[in-house]
Amino acid sequence: MEDASGASIKGYRAAGFSITVETPWAFEILQEEGFQFDASVFPGTHAHGGLTVPYRRPFMIETASGKTLYEFPVAAAQIGGKTFPFGGGGYFRLLPEPLTSLMVKQMNRAQIPATLYLHPREIDPKQPRMDGLPLIRKLKYYVNLNQTEEKLKALLKRSRFESLAQYLENSENRVSAASRLFSLKD
């Protein structure tokens, strides 16, 4: 990707939120490879991933060797004392855009950046379909694909966004994230 873009890649997100408490070595490798930040933490339980963390805002992950990496957990709303991730993928496609926008604004009012993501395939309703998928997988992959691009455009009109690298360019944001540490040391 660096060769194709001519720019250095500063961040990473593991597919399917596959970095878990059982795979803490992944953060060590990311740090060793020169990544400045990660966005692989799903704050709660996910079908095939997730790492329970006490933060909805950016924080530092301390690896087993004591090295650190900035972490941006996927956007999650607090509703009735419970945490509900909503920041991308199927969540973005399933939830009405006004509700997503409201939750982004709720996070912003609390001075928490809402980390959102989309898969490129989610803005292509005419993509080839995989045969033989179980019903739940079909729903996860294909429901509301024809609405994703319009939802994204509407959300971008309602709220201001910046890249994670841009967010960390502000030294105040770096210090704020560094004040929260999630340690994976034994």
Query: How do residues 6-65 score in pLDDT, each as one tens digit?
Result: 888 999 998 878 888 788 899 999 999 999 999 988 776 666 667 778 888 999 999 989
Are 126 and 57 in a shared domain?
Answer: no
Are 101 and 122 in a shared domain?
Answer: yes
Are 128 and 147 in a shared domain?
Answer: yes
- In angstroms, the CA 70 to CA 62 distance is 9
- In angstroms, the CA 114 to CA 103 distance is 9
Q: What average pLDDT is seen over the chain?
A: 88
Are 64 and 36 in a shared domain?
Answer: yes
pLDDT at 47: 61
pLDDT at 44: 64
Establish how many alpha carbons lie within 13 A of residue 68's alpha carbon, considering only the half-sphere containing its beta carbon: 12
Which residues, 6+ apart, have CB-to-CB distance to 185 below 8 Å? 62, 63, 64, 66
Question: Which range has the worst mean pLDDT, 1-5, 28-32, 142-146?
Answer: 1-5
Are 59 and 89 in a shared domain?
Answer: no
pLDDT at residue 132 is higher than 70? yes
Establish how many alpha carbons lie within 13 A of residue 10's alpha carbon, considering only the half-sphere containing its beta carbon: 13
Residue 122 structure tokens: 């989610």
180, 57 contact by CB (below 8 A) = yes
pLDDT at 10: 92
Are 14 and 57 in a shared domain?
Answer: yes
pLDDT at residue 170 is higher than 70? yes
Please tell me the total count of domains within the chain: 2
Are 181 and 128 in a shared domain?
Answer: no
pLDDT at 59: 94
Are 108 and 137 in a shared domain?
Answer: yes
Are 101 and 53 in a shared domain?
Answer: no
> In terms of residue numbers, what domain contains 30?
1-74+163-186
pLDDT at 73: 92
Are 171 and 155 in a shared domain?
Answer: no
pTM of the model: 0.88
Are 7 and 63 in a shared domain?
Answer: yes
Using a CB cutoff of 8 Å and minimum separation of 24, what contacts does 49-53 make?
Answer: 49/14, 49/16, 49/17, 49/18, 49/19, 49/20, 50/17, 50/20, 51/17, 51/19, 51/20, 51/21, 52/21, 53/182
Are 12 and 56 in a shared domain?
Answer: yes
